[in-house]
Amino acid sequence: MQLGQIGIWQSRSKGEPAVIVGALEDLGYGALWLGGSPSVEQARVYVEAGTTLPVITGILNVWQHDPADVAPAHAQLTREHPDRFLLGIGIGHPEATSDYKRPLKTMRDFFDGLDAAATPVPKDERLAAALGPKMLDLSKERSLGTHPYFIDVEHTRFARERLGPDALVAPEVAVVVEEDPETGRRLAREYASTYLGLSNYTSNLLKFGYTERDIADGGSDRLIDAVIPHGSPEQIADAIRTHLEAGADHVCLQPLGHGPEPLEDFAALAKVLL
């Protein structure tokens, strides 16, 4: 499966599948990363809406699913649509799961379940969201690679160094196509407010040189500008290229602030990145 260097991250709660997939195929994007904790069956409608675009769950939440159910659903979808679907899994965050304990063991057990199924999910047809070193190591050991979320370029560099040259590193990067800096930062902060209240993301940011002051009050300009590039399409393209130069194989863009179907943003970013 060829993902290219640039894809789009889109929540399944936003927009019509046929509209989103059709636009991305026409523009030449490499993949659609489907957010909103989708199941395999919820991803199916996006696979069936297109003809060439790979669809990846970004991510299927392991607390909400049994690998014994996920594996046969994956097998059926990939049998019907070869080279069109990858299974991205992740642990989510503690604030969303009342029984959140031992996340590394839970992820390892989920991989074990995928391997033990009657129709196992092959290692090269799955990947794992990861931030910290141990979860990154697990993603390398048990899957195609990793899909980090809400990170800066230094994390991309760290992930590549940790995983080595062969594993997939495919970070999500939210962006705001908006040339006025204050408007861009305002839209970025509206999005960031959720993640700056979640401990797995804030703990990770603190490990990469940000401070409690950067995280407080909606995020400092320094943090917002680093994690959520905003500006003209060309300025955003420059920021995305730093992730590719730091070791990302593929970057999935999440355009913010322009509705559930940001087709103009998709087109503007395609012109400068594809």
Which of these, 30, 34, 74, 78, lies nearest to 52 by C-alpha position?
30
CB atoms closer than 10 angstroms to residue 16: 12
1 touches 86 (CB < 8 A): yes
Q: Is the pLDDT higher at 102 or at 74?
A: 74
* Structural domain contains residue 1: no
Q: What percent of the chain has pLDDT over 90?
A: 95
| Res. 10: pLDDT tops 50 | yes
In a domain, 239, yes or no: yes
Is pLDDT at 7 greater than 90 in this prediction? yes
Span 117-125, average pLDDT: 98
* Average per-residue pLDDT for the chain: 96
Q: Residue 199 has which token pair?
A: 């401990």
Tens-place pLDDT, residues 41-73:
999 999 999 999 999 999 999 999 999 999 999
Q: Is residue 130 part of a domain?
A: yes
- Do the Cβ atoms of 187 and 98 come closer than 8 Å? no
Alpha helices in the chain (DSSP H): 17-27, 40-49, 67-80, 103-116, 133-142, 153-163, 181-195, 199-207, 212-215, 221-227, 233-245, 263-273
In a domain, 180, yes or no: yes
Q: Is the pLDDT of residue 94 over 60?
A: no
Mind listing the pLDDT tens digit for each residue in 153-171? 999 999 999 999 999 999 9
Token readout for 51 is 């003809």
Is residue 167, in this structure, part of any structural domain at all? yes
Residue 74 within any structural domain of the chain: yes
pLDDT score, position 96: 54
- Find residue 126's DSSP bridge partners: 87
Average pLDDT, integer, range 182-187? 97
- Alpha-carbon distance of 244 to 85, in angstroms, equals 23
CB of 139 closer than 8 Å to CB of 127:
yes
Whole-number pLDDT of residue 92:
78
If one counts the domains in the chain, the total is: 1
CATH number at 128 reads 3.20.20.30
Q: Report, as an integer, the average pLDDT of 1-18.
A: 96
Domain of 215 in residue numbering reads as 6-273
pLDDT bin (cut points 50, 70, 90) of residue 98 is very low
